[in-house]
Amino acid sequence: MDLRKTVADLHAELVRYNLVVWTAGNVSGRVPGEDLFVIKPSGVSYDELTPENMVVCDLDGNLLEGEHSPSSDTAAHAYVYRNMPEVGGVVHTHSTYASAWAARGEAIPCVLTAMADEFGGEIPVGPFALIGDDSIGQGIVETLKGHRSKAVLMQNHGVFSIGKDAKAAVKAAVMCEDVARTVHVARQLGDPLPIAQDDIDRLYDRYQNVYGQRSPR
Which residues are known catalytic residues? 117, 211
Phi, psi of 85 (to 5 degrees): -60, -20
What is the DSSP annotation of 118-131? HHSSPBPEEPP--T
Closest of 10, 72, 76, 5 to residue 46, by C-alpha = 10
Binding string to a second copy for residues 20 to 39, with x set by CB under 8 A, is what?
Answer: -xx-x---------------
Count of residues that interact with a second copy, criterion CB under 8 A:
61
Q: Which helix (H) or strand (E) segment is 175 a member of?
A: helix 166-188
CA atoms of 89 and 94, how far apart (whole Å)? 17
Residue choice 59, 114, 127, 147 for contact with a second copy (CB under 8 A)? 114
209 binds a second copy (CB under 8 A): no
Residue choice 72, 83, 135, 138 for contact with a second copy (CB under 8 A)? 72
**Which of the stretches 27-35, 84-92, 139-147, 176-184 binds a second copy when contact is defined by CB under 8 A?**
176-184
| N- to C-terminal Cα separation, the chain | 21
CA atoms of 168 and 154, how far apart (whole Å)? 19
**Which of the stretches 29-37, 78-86, 138-146, 169-177 binds a second copy when contact is defined by CB under 8 A?**
169-177
Q: Residue numbers of the site for a second copy (CB under 8 A)?
A: 17, 21-22, 24, 41-44, 68-69, 72, 94, 96-97, 99-101, 103-106, 111-114, 128, 130-132, 155-158, 171, 174-175, 178, 181-193, 195, 199, 202-203, 206, 210-214, 217
